[in-house]
Amino acid sequence: MMKDDVIIITGAAMGLGLATAQLLAKEGAKLVLVDFNEEALNRTVENLKSTYPEVKIISLLADVSKEDEVKNYVDTAVNEFGRIDGFYNNAGIEGKQASVTNYDLDIFKKVIDINLMGVYYGLRYVIPVMQKQKYGRIVNVSSVGGIRGVLNQMPYVASKHAVSGMTKNAALEYGKDGILTNAIAPGAILTPMVAEAFKQINPDDPKAAEKEYASHNPTRALGDPKDVASVVAYLLSKTNGYVSGQTIAIDGGESNMYGSPE
């Protein structure tokens, strides 16, 4: 489906970014992997190269909240591979769990800088490349927290609502250039970020917090990063010819629920 497509993935070293990198490496895409965690990024690249020896990968250290570092990963992708077919604008953080009036201001601003400005900088530099090509597929990462409120996570919820909003605007403004832009809204997918949230909710027994959370989902389970990767791969591919401007929930149906499951 994606042989030789050039795909940038931010936050590629772990979790959802890593799962999509694995799937796209298997499909023969050319990958530009971006992360700010050097050790985890190097480990990911080594693993991918040993599993898929033919895969073409460049990896770049960048903090997506720094505009010059975003410009650099986009320029490097173009210099190295000549084009950008798909952009998985995924890097994000959760922040800390705290009520609205007790939220630490520095952490609040950091969440906004990474989740909102980081996604925006990516769009700002990738879209002109795709406009020249008259082709591009973009997947921004929102969250169920971009559709609903989530207790004790105000900056996360604010930033993810913004991601869904920016997705609509990018889709409206650049559809004429052959660029389809969507967002995904994962529910609770078991990645290192979500494991950390369960530790904050119940430091003595994070597994109990995980089980309790899963019991409220219609499927009674948490999601697997692979469940997300397959949807992202479709949205980043040429097979997607007409889906644009959407925020697609990947949450076992939970965001449609009113009341508790039986």
Q: Binding residue for ligand NAD (CB under 6 A) from 77, 91, 162, 229?
A: 91
Output the smallest distance, CB 222 to ligand NAD, in A: 8
State in angstroms the smallest separation of the CB of 185 from ligand NAD.
Answer: 7
Q: Which of residues 49-78 bind ligand NAD (CB under 6 A)?
A: 62-65
Q: What is the dihedral of CA 244, 247, 248, 254, to 10 degrees?
A: -160
Q: Which of 120, 156, 174, 234 is catalytic?
A: 156
Shortest distance, CB of residue 46 to ligand NAD, whole angstroms?
15
Strands (E), the chain: 6-10, 30-35, 57-61, 86-89, 136-141, 179-186, 247-250
- Work out whether the CA dihedral 239, 245, 251, 254 comes out positive or negative: negative
Question: Segment near ligand NAD (CB under 6 A), from 85-93, 97-105, 204-212, 238-246?
Answer: 85-93
Q: How far apart are CA 65 and CA 113, in angstroms?
A: 5
CA–CA gap between residue 226 and residue 232 (Å, rounded): 10
Does residue 179 contact residue 130 with C-beta atoms inside 8 Å? Answer: yes
20, 25, 36, 155: which one contacts ligand NAD (CB under 6 A)?
36
**Binding-site string for ligand NAD from residue 186 to residue 205, where x marks contact by CB under 6 A and - marks none:** x-xx-xxxx-----------
Q: Which of 20, 84, 92, 120 contacts ligand NAD by CB under 6 A? A: 92
Known catalytic residue: 135?
Answer: no
**Residue-by-residue DSSP string for 96-128:** --B-GGG--HHHHHHHIIIIIIHHHHHHHHHHH
State the minimum distance, in angstroms, from the CB of residue 194 to ligand NAD.
4
Quickly tell me which residue has 């925020």 as its tokens: 247
The 97-116 site mask, x for binding ligand NAD (CB under 6 A), equals: -----------------x--
Separation CA 189–CA 167 (nearest Å): 22
Q: Do 16 and 90 contact (CB within 8 A), yes or no? A: yes
Q: Give the per-residue contact string, 127-166, with ligand NAD (x = CB under 6 A; - = no).
A: --------------x-x-----------------------
Active site residues: 156
Which positions touch ligand NAD (CB under 6 A)? 10-11, 13-17, 35-37, 40, 62-65, 90-93, 114, 118, 141, 143, 186, 188-189, 191-194
